[in-house]
């Protein structure tokens, strides 16, 4: 039989099935194991934290699911593990780029552009890392140009807004890109006072997308 590794989270769950006997307790691992065996695959369940990069995982198959945790803290850890496996030559299912696109509208847009207009349709979109990026690249005068603006996080249509003109676009972009960190902002104000010519860090560093 062929071997495949299924990566489980810190609760021992694979996936986050809403229809499980215990809410969000993951898929039925024994049933998964049986179904894979019928197709000629032997399953081994491995926690993300048990991956030891002193071992060689090249050419091994790893099936995984993402995480829905608030703030993306555990998802960020999973990303480290998956990228390490990918760099070592493991076969990830799905590919790492699709994990990166989960709840990340900016990277979804990058993938869409890479696929090309023939496959995804003609949509003019721009990604920005700060509000200043956008202000420098497009006029923000009040006109009738409508835009769709998307915050980087969220699934489906969450955090998606319609701006009826450039003034609304600027207001929405400022709001969704606001990156609050009071202590850092106070320190940065101090640097601006102390060091002549110092340019303060942007207060709007959450990435987003604008579609025209």
Indicate the number of domains in the chain: 2
Closest CA to 24 of 9, 13, 32, 33: 13
**Could you tell me which residues are beta bridge partners of residue 147?**
163
* pLDDT tens-place string over residues 8-58: 999 999 987 666 677 777 899 999 999 999 999 999 999 999 999 999 999
* pLDDT tens-place string over residues 139-189: 766 677 889 999 988 766 788 999 999 899 999 999 999 998 889 989 989
> Which two tokens mark 148?
């769709």
Residue 147's domain is classified under what CATH number?
Answer: 3.30.1490
**Could you tell me which residues are beta bridge partners of residue 126?**
210
> 10's torsion region: left (phi>0), alpha (psi -120 to 50) or beta?
alpha
Does the pLDDT value for residue 68 go beyond 80?
yes
- Same domain for 91 and 118, yes or no, is no
Cis peptide leading into residue 94 (ω within 30°): yes
- Whole-structure pTM value: 0.84
- Same domain for 14 and 109, yes or no, is no
**Secondary structure (3-state) at 19:** coil
Return the pLDDT at 140.
67
- Same domain for 48 and 90, yes or no, is yes
- Domain limit, last residue, from 78, 101, 124: 101
The residue range of the domain holding 162 is 105-211
β-pairing verdict for 125-128 and 41-47 = unpaired
- Same domain for 118 and 95, yes or no, is no
* pLDDT tens-place string over residues 84-106: 999 999 999 999 999 999 989 99
Q: How many CA atoms lie within 13 A of 112 on its CB side?
A: 17
């Amino acid at each position: 039989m062929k071997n495949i590794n299924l990566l489980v989270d810190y609760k021992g769950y694979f996936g986050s099935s809403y229809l499980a006997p215990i809410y969000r307790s993951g898929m039925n691992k024994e049933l998964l194991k049986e179904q894979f065996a019928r197709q000629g695959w032997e399953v081994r369940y491995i926690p993300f934290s048990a991956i030891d990069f002193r071992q060689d995982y090249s050419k091994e198959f790893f099936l995984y699911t993402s995480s829905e945790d608030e703030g993306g803290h555990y998802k960020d850890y999973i990303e480290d593990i998956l990228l390490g496996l990918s760099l070592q030559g493991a076969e990830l299912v799905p590919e790492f780029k699709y994990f990166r696109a989960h709840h990340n509208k900016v990277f979804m847009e990058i993938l869409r552009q890479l696929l090309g207009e023939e496959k995804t349709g003609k949509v003019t979109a721009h990604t920005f890392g700060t509000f200043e990026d956008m202000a420098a690249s497009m006029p923000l005068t009040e006109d009738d140009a409508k835009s769709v603006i998307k915050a980087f996080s969220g699934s489906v249509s969450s955090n998606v807004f319609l701006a009826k003109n450039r003034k609304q676009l600027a207001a929405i972009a400022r709001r969704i890109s606001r990156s609050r960190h009071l202590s850092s902002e106070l320190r940065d104000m101090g640097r601006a006072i102390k060091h002549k010519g110092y340019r303060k860090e942007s207060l709007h560093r959450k990435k987003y997308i604008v579609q025209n």
